[in-house]
Amino acid sequence: DARVTQTPRHKVTEMGQEVTMRCQPILGHNTVFWYRQTMMQGLELLAYFRNRAPLDDSGMPKDRFSAEMPDATLATLKIQPSEPRDSAVYFCASGLAYGGEDEQFFGPGTRLTVL
């Protein structure tokens, strides 16, 4: 049963600290997405990779957030320095896209609390 995995599942940190979230997409999927979910804003797309190349990161605050795919089995999202307003659940999703968008499979999320 192929699944997207994310680590850590929970993270509590203090303001100003660096946070790194990791995602392992489903093997063979060529698209990877990072989302942030809050009660007020719902699911917001932060970054989007296809075949490991970044296609869209317009939803991401560039001054503190960065997203990378060092290889096909690992995607990372970093926040440096973290702020209390970054507290949210961060989901990674992967999928197969053939020009259009197909189903996205979500990981269990990283629940981030910045104090």
Q: Could you give the string, one character per residue 86-105, with x where binding to other proteins holds by CB under 8 A and - elsewhere? A: -----x-----x--xx-xx-
Judged by CB, which is closer to other proteins: 9, or 18? 9
Give the Cα separation of 37 and 9 in Å (integer). 14
Judged by CB, which is closer to other proteins: 83, or 101? 101
Burial of 67 (0-12, 13-18, 19+ CB in 10 A): buried
Q: Is 42 in the site for other proteins (CB under 8 A)?
A: yes
Please count the other Cβ atoms lying within 10 Å of the Cβ belonging to residue 69. 19
Residue 55 CB, shortest distance to other proteins, in Å, is: 6
Residue 19 CB, shortest distance to other proteins, in Å, is: 19
Please count the other Cβ atoms lying within 10 Å of the Cβ belonging to residue 35. 23
Q: Is 12 in the site for other proteins (CB under 8 A)?
A: no
